[in-house]
Each structure stands twice: as structure tokens, then as C-alpha cells.
Structure 1
Amino acid sequence: MSKHSKRKFEVEDHETIDQCIERMRSEGYIPVRRIEEPVFHEVERNGAIDIEPCGRKIVFEGKLE
């Protein structure tokens, strides 16, 4: 089975960025790009629904070494 030349790795809730990078390296990938995306949730205030940021999602793109 051949590996893909590029793959995305998301930083899980229970791990740090360093742990995610170490997981990438253990699978034979090196980080080449970091992508951060905001995460939003809906909050109801005074009968109106507002959208507020509640966190961020960090994804690393890795390529084979």
C-alpha cells in the first residue's frame, strides 16, 4: 500500500501542536503548511441569534519525507 504524497493532520482536542507534529513525523510526514480556521457557535440574545467565535481549528499539511 503506497502513502499519499500529501496529507492533512488536525490538532485534536486532547493534544498540543508539538504532539500533532510528532504524530506526523512518526507517520513519515513533515509539516509544510499550517492552516487556522475559526470555529463559531450561535448564541441567542434578546430574541436575536448572534454568531460568536468559540475557538479555532488548527490543521497541518504534511508531505512525505
Structure 2
Amino acid sequence: MSLKWVDVLEIAIQLAESKPEIDPRQVNFVNLHRWVTELPEFSDDPQRGGEKVLEAIQAAWIEELE
């Protein structure tokens, strides 16, 4: 399975599992973008990860933890 920017929920789940010490409410988009592109299964164009998709990933990550 390869992850693309549109896989918001799966990305959020993988971030929650790989970064349990991180509070997603405190994450800046620079770090979030880097962490997404560093996921082992991520295989999309890093340039396509704009503010809207990062906001969606952050919201899904917050929801995943609740």
C-alpha cells in the first residue's frame, strides 16, 4: 500500500501510532509536512502537500486521539 495526500485518515492513523508523544494540536505545518513525507509508505509528490491537506491531516489526527 502506498500513501498519497488524499489518504488523510490513514496518514493520521500512522502519525498517531508513530508519534504517540506528540500532541497534534501543537504541531506546526512544517514539521507535519516533513513527518508525512517521511512515512515509509508515503509515495506522493511532496509539493502537493499544501495547507488545506495538512489542516485535514491534523484534524483527523486530533480526532483519532479522542
Provide TM-score, normalisation by structure 1: 0.29
Structure number with higher strand proportion: 1
Rg larger in 1 or in 2? 1
Structure number with higher helix proportion: 2
Provide TM-score, normalisation by structure 2: 0.29
